[in-house]
Amino acid sequence: MLLDTASLYFRAYFGVPESVRAPDGTPVNALRGLLEFITRLVQDHRPDELVACMDADWRPQWRVDLIPSYKAHRVAVETETGPDEEVVPDTLSPQVPIIEEVLDAFGIARVGVAGYEADDVIGTLAGRASGPVDIVTGDRDLYQLVDDARGVRVLYPLKGVGMMQTTDEAVLREKYGVDGPGYVDLALLRGDPSDGLPGVPGIGEKTAAKLLDAFGDLAGIMAAVDDPASKLTPSQRKRLDESRAYVAVAPKVVRVAGDVPLPGFDPALPKRARDPQRLEELAVRWGLGRAVHRLLTELGA
């Protein structure tokens, strides 16, 4: 089980009231919510391995070099020596280091790699896995990794983690008319304002799906642009032709990396806390007693 950790703690932050606070008054709603997410996931799915994948770089320079608008609207502060600072709610950003400390005290593997997003870590781990993989994320970009033959599916939270959409190839074909790899082509054609991806003007999700159905993949669509006999409309042909520069680089930006140089780590789901004393200290300081106890109970079940 691979967690898109930032996606989950953002959802927890907006789903759990900010009135959930530590004894000193510090909001801990994202932290508490994430622990409850993990508890429910362990309870419902019993993974053998669990990895909390982290954004060591939420906006890698190699993606920005290809598409400068990539996540540009989410930059809070530009930095010379490292990743730009992302716009994050004032009461969420202080919770992130605590989340990392708590995961480490539990002994839940936490993996982030400089120069890569959590999606890239997930893509690399999913590609290396020898058995079934469940990816837990609220980000549809990771639908591209769905692969029935390898048992890779996405658990997409609809309401908390009690109601999850299990996304396999059948769901993708029903909703979007594509398989996992085809989702990359669909996503880059329609664009994604939340990631600063412009897409091809005038081509939304439904049109992109129809084009992919008609011509197979992105390469087939671009070949049709050069074929006067193809059944593209004049406006589609013009817009695709004018978007050649974008279409040439977008696949590398949208496709998750599968070759991230991962550090050594133990992905096994712990049966007990790695550092019980530190976990107890954190539980007391941040008012996490019940949430910590519930997760410990599930880990030892």
Distances (CA, A) of 292 to 20, 112, 228, 255: 15, 23, 64, 36
Write out the two tokens for 209.
Answer: 């799906």
Which neighbouring-strand residues pair with 85? 77
How far apart are alpha carbons 23 and 281 in whole angstroms? 13
Q: What is the pLDDT of residue 190?
A: 96
The letter for the amino acid at 202 is G
Q: What is the pLDDT of residue 289?
A: 94
11-27, pLDDT tens digit by residue? 999 999 999 999 999 99
How far apart are alpha carbons 33 and 28 in whole angstroms? 8
Mean predicted confidence (pLDDT) in 219-248? 96
Nearest to 53 by CA among 223, 205, 265, 250: 265
Helix ranges, 72-217 (H)? 95-106, 118-128, 169-176, 180-190, 205-215
Q: What is the pLDDT of residue 161?
A: 67
Q: What is the pLDDT of residue 162?
A: 73
Which SS3 state, helix, strand or coil, does residue 105 take?
Answer: helix
- Phi first, then psi: give them for residue 85, nearest 5 degrees: -80, 135
5-61, pLDDT tens digit by residue? 999 999 999 999 999 999 999 999 999 999 999 999 999 999 999 999 999 999 999
At 133, the pLDDT band (50, 70, 90 cuts) reads very high
Q: Give me the percent of the chain exceeding a pLDDT of 70.
A: 99
Q: What is the pLDDT of residue 79?
A: 78
241-278, pLDDT tens digit by residue? 999 999 999 999 999 999 999 999 999 999 999 999 99
At 165, the pLDDT band (50, 70, 90 cuts) reads very high
Nearest to 135 by CA among 70, 74, 49: 49
Task: Supply the mean pLDDT for the chain.
Answer: 95
Q: What is the pLDDT of residue 210?
A: 95
How far apart are alpha carbons 242 and 266 in whole angstroms? 48
pLDDT at 135 over 80: yes
